[in-house]
A and B are shown apart, each in its own frame.
Chain A
């Protein structure tokens, strides 16, 4: 997919948040600088996410956790950034999705779980070129599915459906 470059200041609010996430805390570009291609694509064309740009306290704590896992030397930076990217895409595409239960292992992976009794979803992020993967299951029907994320970490529709089920259960509960 090719997209024209666009100055930061002209991007919608959610997209500005998205590019901040891609660059990371310490390397946020100045307004007016050109957004790299991959950052520009992220979040674009998802108008439903615009109202969800503000971060809750729990989200802020989770973002800090991902940063700390790198600064403490627990996982390589790319593992944390993969997790951050998937979480931010998930919360943009499934507004209201709870912060995942996150566990980091020395050297990787970071493991995410969302669980609401009936439905469970997990995602696992490994360093380097090792595949990161996702999983969803329904304890009632015993159905389950899973697979690897693509290298650009686009969230597969089946995984998103699983997250929406979790959110539905959360709201119902």
Chain B
């Protein structure tokens, strides 16, 4: 993946929540999870080869519980013209171990679909939609409020990974991981992390 980071854009309003991203868009995934230190050896070998696998797109147990409770859960990503890699890294908590960086084509994600089955008659597919980035309310940390930090307006979610039965959800995840092209996965270097930290500290 190119080390060239997109120029930071002036803050503009994000489109309405749930609106699909237009064709041709690119999103980056730099999740707080999985943390680099929590990936086993064979995974590090794959990362070195720039290859993705479904474990990079799993929901946490807490998110699974929300899905089981019928809540809508999307996989967090950032649209690259609105959110730089540095901004995403700051927005997810400035953790040294948040280093697995994926660049994903929205068009490719939208091609991920499963035909209807006997158990589940619906056609299952993925999309990427705008989603308001939130943060803990400083007054009442139990509450979430919109995040207005630079780059927060690029927040989106990969929608649809919770649909269908468990096998279908896993098939969708496998197909999603298969959309990652060679070179679109990188591990942020110590130098990049140091530059992000320096920029965040001086801002």
Contact = CB atoms under 8 A, between A and B. Distances in A.
Interface string B23-64: 000000000011101111111001000000111101011101
A106 B35 contact: yes
Interface residues of A, number: 38
A169 B80 CA distance: 38
A137 B174 contact: yes
Contacts of B35: 74, 106
A108 B174 CA distance: 19
B38 A109 contact: no
Interface in B152-203: 166-167, 170-171, 174, 178
Interface in A17-58: 58
Interface in A103-151: 103-109, 111-113, 115, 120, 122, 124, 126-127, 130, 133, 135, 137, 139, 144-148
Interface in B51-85: 53-56, 58, 60-62, 64-65
B43 A102 contact: yes
A147 B42 contact: no
Contacts of B56: 103
A74 B38 contact: yes
A130 B61 contact: yes
A101 B55 contact: yes
A62 to B, nearest CB: 6
Contacts of B34: 103-105
Contacts of B33: 105-106
Contact of B61 (A58, A103, A105, A112): A105
Given A65-B41, A101-B40, A113 B167 contact: no
Interface string A67-94: 0010010100000000000000000000
11 contacts: A101-B53, A102-B43, A108-B61, A109-B58, A111-B58, A113-B55, A122-B170, A122-B174, A135-B166, A139-B178, A144-B174
Nearest first, the 9 A-B pairs at minimum CB distance are A146-B167, A102-B40, A103-B55, A108-B61, A135-B170, A111-B55, A104-B38, A105-B60, A101-B42
